[in-house]
Chains A and B, each alone.
Chain A
Amino acid sequence: MVQQARYPTSEPVDFLVVGAGAAGGVVAKQLSTAGFSVVVLEQGPYLREADFRHDEMANTKFHPLTNDLQLQPHTFRETEKERARVQPAVMYGRVVGGGTVHFTANYWRFHEIDFVERSRWGPIAGTGFADWPITYADLEPYYTKAEEELGISGEAGANPFDSWRSKPYPLPPLPVKSSGVLFERAARKLGWHPFPAPMAILSRPYRNRAACVHCGFCMEFGCEVGAKSSTLAAVFPLAEQTGRCEIRPGCYVRKIEVSKSGRVTGAIYFDPQRREVFQNAKAVVLCANGAETPRLLLMSKSNFFPQGLANSSGLVGKYLMFDAGAIALGLFEHPLNEFKSVQVTRVIHDFYNSDPKRGFYGGGGIDARFLFYPISFAMGALPPEAPRWGAEYKKLLQEYYTRTMVLLSHTTVLPLETNSISLDPEVKDAWGLPALCVTYRHHADDWKTMGFTQEREKELLEVAGARKIWTFPLEALPPSAHLMGTCRMGNNPRDSVVNHLNRAHDVPNLFLVDGSCFVTSGRQQPTATIQALAYRAADHMAKLAKRGDL
């Protein structure tokens, strides 16, 4: 039994990681394995497999895995001209493991094009459309590393639009579901190229973890058998086994402190008893997600950084990019039973690339899935013209629940400087800290792309032989769980926050690794890219630390 690491707060640890999510888990594991002392501060609880239950009511009412808007309200407005009002704006994982505990576990790499779209298509007026300072080739070894260590199931070569890979997936695809079969047949008839969905879910037992049991409770729930490749299941145990990684749950960071020379010295946080504690550190890695990382930087003002820590560019919090996509639903003659097994088994990337002939920028992937649990289905999945109560409504529930599938697209959003995370000037959270304020509006091309993919979805459902096809208005998008762009990566400190290795331009011992560093949105599914960036950044941090440069 390895001795649990316990570091005194007064002694500087080598690395202080804020946020135990997709990136935080990878960074903590890599650095502790490389021999460094690591403390991870996570505001949420440290839950385990035995805590995860199939309880849709609990998820709906108590939000055990995600941010609690009673404790930490958000404010939202579409533009800076309006006053932000208290309402849900973003969603993120708030447990050890972060979003990887509750996510649907889609796991797409970016394509080569995602890193160089500005070079390819030219600038887009009024936006921050830009190339990344890295290419797919720079990241490829780390995508491979992430897939291998975390355990990703898929079929290399099955997607003709995928970029090259140095190794196949470590695990074969999960078994196809009825939605995947119908999708695949119809897509092929249309001349498209359906492929098995890459999923962060084990199709076989792997590295002492159990394989998926197809219970159907992936999306929004924790995996009670450890088959979903969350950082909780896959890398935090490895980090703790080194004896050098201490995870502190229930610890909410309110400020990163800096010295007179402008280097970070550690973090002030509220412990579980709401006492303020200062943890000394030689270097700090923020992995708090694309909303909370910029918020923390903005809350960390000092004489050295009057605009917020690492914010000489003024871009901390700016260029916020959200999730986007459109759905179409289809009813079929025989039961699909989509409530069983993983959400997604088949995908197409035929419309991934932008195409100027369409008249707008954007593209996306389309997959076949279900998206509902019993209560959410009965609340609002039936066609818009269907009765919402009564005898006919009940008949429709009985007929539709097992015979329905959903196509969902995952589409691009353009970076707009006016879309941002900021500190609300009035509203406070339960700790007295300024509430997260979101200012957000999609670009017109984002809507056109969603609409374009929705038309393809309807086409596919038609060809698949759906007895009935329906959609919901594009405007009805829930709070985004994809949070990108707010500390963008770049070579020039005047128009970016971190360099190409996730080091803050302004602060030599501060690193930002999560969705905030994204330059473009990709076609959603950001987790694979976040984790590849985390492996790469951690490599670099370890090198710097070994050289004595931190």
Chain B
Amino acid sequence: MHEPVFSRRVLLKMSGSVGAGWLGPRWAQVLRAAVHVHRAVTPGTTPRLEFFTAEQAAEVEAIAAQIIPSDETPGANEARVLYFIDRALVTFDREQQPAYREGLQDLLRRVQQLHPGKSFSGLPSDQQIELLKSMEETEFFGLVRTHTIMGFLANPEYGGNDNKVGWRLIGFKDDSVFTPPFGFYDREYNDAG
């Protein structure tokens, strides 16, 4: 159920029988991207960065770590959200690359204005939070928030939600089969007869 079967099977079906053209050029590209994403992620190893420089990665990771922090429970770091975002930007969300380049430049400007010579990731946590609060209405923050949430809760083969840590936090289970009772109130209902 969670191996990258879908995209390979459809890709094979398309190339084997009819051309990919009828599905449209975008769909074929997107499927190739999905296969790329799935191949790039091997659990247990540290993935290579394909888009971010080391400096950019540190910044993005620090933003994500404030969006879903690590405290008594795991957060974006443990879920490897950074790698989800990096993968996304060279596959299905390639067109967001400029938004990240410009957004990170803007972030640096904002940081330098308040704390000359520093990077966002070099700031203490409370200053990071204050800075993000001042830009939480920006499109760039919205984009990183969306990517962080996706990276936290998508199927692990996309590079995030490492070891299903995001799902475990919220209480979602990805079993293929469930049997009743499903929750507290229907268990009570059934017990009452």
Contact = CB atoms under 8 A, between A and B. Distances in A.
A182 B184 CA distance: 10
A215 B177 contact: yes
Interface in A172-224: 175-178, 180-182, 213-216, 224
A390 to B, nearest CB: 7
Given A374-B172, A375-B150, A390-B67, A53 B178 contact: no
B60 to A, nearest CB: 14
A467 interface: no
A176 B189 contact: yes
Contacts, number: 175
Interface of B: 1-2, 5-6, 9-10, 18-19, 21-24, 26-27, 30-31, 34, 66-69, 71, 73, 75, 92-93, 129, 132, 136, 145-146, 148-150, 152-155, 158, 166-167, 169-180, 182-186, 188-189
A445 interface: no
B183 A272 contact: no
User: Interface SS of chain B: helix, strand, loop or mixed?
Assistant: helix
Interface string A260-301: 000000000011111000000000000000000000000000
A182 B183 CA distance: 11
22 contacts: A51-B9, A55-B6, A55-B155, A56-B154, A61-B92, A71-B24, A175-B182, A176-B189, A177-B182, A181-B185, A181-B188, A214-B177, A252-B22, A339-B173, A340-B182, A378-B149, A378-B170, A379-B146, A388-B136, A393-B67, A397-B170, A402-B172
Given A53-B1, A178-B182, A375-B150, A398 B136 contact: no
A494 interface: no
B87 to A, nearest CB: 11
Main secondary structure of the interface of A (DSSP, over half): loop
Given A54-B174, A70-B24, A402-B170, A379 B149 contact: yes
A389 B92 contact: no
Contacts of A398: 73, 169-171
A391 interface: yes
A389 B34 contact: no
B108 to A, nearest CB: 20
B86 to A, nearest CB: 15
A244 B66 CA distance: 61
A345 to B, nearest CB: 9
A315 B26 CA distance: 35
A430 B68 CA distance: 40
Given A58-B34, A388-B145, A177 B19 contact: no
Contacts of B1: 53-54, 224
Interface string A326-353: 0000001011111111000000000000
A274 B67 CA distance: 46
B112 to A, nearest CB: 23
B183 A402 contact: yes
A181 B173 contact: no
Contacts of A175: 180, 182, 186
A217 to B, nearest CB: 9
A483 to B, nearest CB: 22
A401 to B, nearest CB: 4
A335 B183 contact: yes
B176 A213 contact: yes
Given A71-B27, A215-B175, A389-B132, 13 more contacts: A57-B154, A61-B92, A68-B24, A214-B180, A250-B18, A250-B22, A273-B22, A335-B183, A336-B183, A388-B145, A389-B67, A389-B148, A398-B73
Nearest to A53: B6
8 closest pairs, A vs B, by CB? A272-B22, A334-B184, A178-B183, A178-B185, A401-B170, A337-B183, A402-B171, A272-B18
